[in-house]
Chain A
C-alpha cells in the first residue's frame, strides 16, 4: 500500500524556484498555446522541447527526479505516435508528439519548482477577484485545506476496509469494499459538518 506523496517539490533557490507561481503559470499557459498553434515543422518542435529542458538545467533538477517525473507519459505517447505515423506520416506525427511532450515537460517543471504552500497562496489570490461575482472564496480555501487534511484519513479508511475484506475472505467483491468505504465517508462528512457548525464556522 502506497503512502500518499504530498507533492513533488524539489528544494532549491534558483531563479525559477524564486519566480512567483502566478508568473510561472502564465508562462506555462503561453508556452502551451503558442507551441500548439504555431509549430508545424520538426526543427521548431525540437526547439520547443529544448526550452523546458534548459529550464530543468537552470532549476538544477536532479536527473533521477527528472527521469522519474518525465517517463510516465512515454507509453501513451508511443501509442499515439505509432497511430499518427500511420494516419498522418512521420513528419507530422513527430511534430505533434514532440510538441505535446514539451508541454508535459514544462508543466512538470512548474510542479517540481513550486511549493504546495506557495501554490495554495497563488490559487487563493487568483480566486480573489471572483469574490465580487459571488464566488465563495473563503469557503473554497477552507474546502481545499479540509480536503488535504482528509486525504490520509480517507486512505486509512480504505486500508481498514481492505484489511477487513481480506480477513473475511471476500476477495472477489469490489462492492464489499466500496459500500463500507462510502458509508464511512458519509458518516465522516456528517460528523465534520456538525463539528464545523458547532464551532461557529460561517458565523
Chain B
C-alpha cells in the first residue's frame, strides 16, 4: 500500500468510528436539553469533509462493522434487522449520499463564498439523496405508492435542514483549518 492509501485508510476508519459513535450519542440542544439524533447528518458531513470516494468508503466500512454484529444504527440498533425492515432504503441512502455530497463539495472553488456554495449544495443534495432512497425503500418493502412514500419524508425535512446547515458550517470551518484535505 502506498503512503497516501494508508493515510486515507486512517481517515476512513476514524470517520466510520465517528458515524458509529453517533448511533449512541444524541446531543443535548437548548436549555431543555432536547436530544437530537445526528447520525444521518454526520454521514453527509463525512462526505463533505473526506470527499466522495473516501466518504463512501467510510459509510461502507460503518455498514461492514454493523454486519459483523456491532450495534451501529441510531439508538443502538443492529444493522441486520434494519436491513430486513422498512427503513432499508435509508441505509442504501447512507452509502450514496456521501458520494453525492463529496462530489459537489470537492468541486474547485475560486473564492471562499464559492467553496461555501459547493458545501451547501453538497449538503442539500446529500440529504435529498437520502430521502429519495428512503422513499424507494418504503415503496418496495411496504408496497406504498409514490405519493405516500414521498409524503412520509415531510415530517423530517425541517429538522434535517437545520442539521445540514450546521454540518455545512462545520465543514466550512474544518476545510479552512485543514486545506490539505481536499488535495489528497
Contact = CB atoms under 8 A, between A and B. Distances in A.
Given A162-B27, A189-B14, A192-B13, A174 B166 contact: yes
A139 interface: yes
A158 B45 CA distance: 16
Given A119-B67, A146-B13, A186-B174, A87 B3 contact: no
Contacts of A88: 143
Nearest to A127: B64
A46 interface: no
A89 B120 CA distance: 42
A75 to B, nearest CB: 11
A106 interface: yes
A26 interface: no
A3 to B, nearest CB: 8
Given A100-B141, A144-B65, A175 B80 contact: no
Interface stretch (A12-20, A58-66, A149-157): A149-157
B106 interface: no
A128 interface: no
Interface string A174-200: 110111011101101110111011000
B106 to A, nearest CB: 16
**Which of B70, B77, B174 gathers most chain A CB within 10 Å?**
B70
Contacts of B143: 84, 88, 92, 96
B85 A201 contact: no
Interface in A10-59: 28, 32, 36
Contacts of A32: 84
Contacts of A4: 21, 24
Contacts of B16: 143, 147, 150
Contact of B2 (A123, A174, A202): A202
Interface residues of B, number: 69
Interface string A133-168: 000100110111011101101110010001000000
A67 interface: no
A153 B18 CA distance: 9
A116 B69 contact: yes
B81 interface: yes
Contact of A192 (B14, B29, B78, B87): B14
B84 A119 contact: no
A114 B68 CA distance: 9
Contacts of B71: 5, 7-8
A142 B9 contact: yes
Given A104-B85, A171-B30, A192-B14, A202 B1 contact: yes
14 contacts: A2-B25, A100-B85, A104-B84, A108-B81, A116-B68, A140-B64, A151-B20, A158-B25, A162-B28, A179-B170, A179-B174, A186-B11, A196-B10, A201-B1
Given A104-B85, A140-B64, 13 more contacts: A76-B85, A111-B80, A147-B62, A155-B25, A171-B28, A171-B33, A174-B29, A186-B178, A189-B7, A189-B13, A189-B15, A192-B13, A197-B6
Interface of A: 1-2, 4-9, 28, 32, 36, 69, 72-73, 76-77, 80, 83-84, 87-88, 92, 96-97, 100, 103-108, 110-111, 114-116, 119-120, 123, 136, 139-140, 142-144, 146-148, 150-151, 153-155, 158, 162, 171-172, 174-175, 177-179, 181-183, 185-186, 188-190, 192-194, 196-197, 201-202
| Nearest 3 pairs of A and B residues by beta carbon | A202-B1, A193-B7, A150-B17
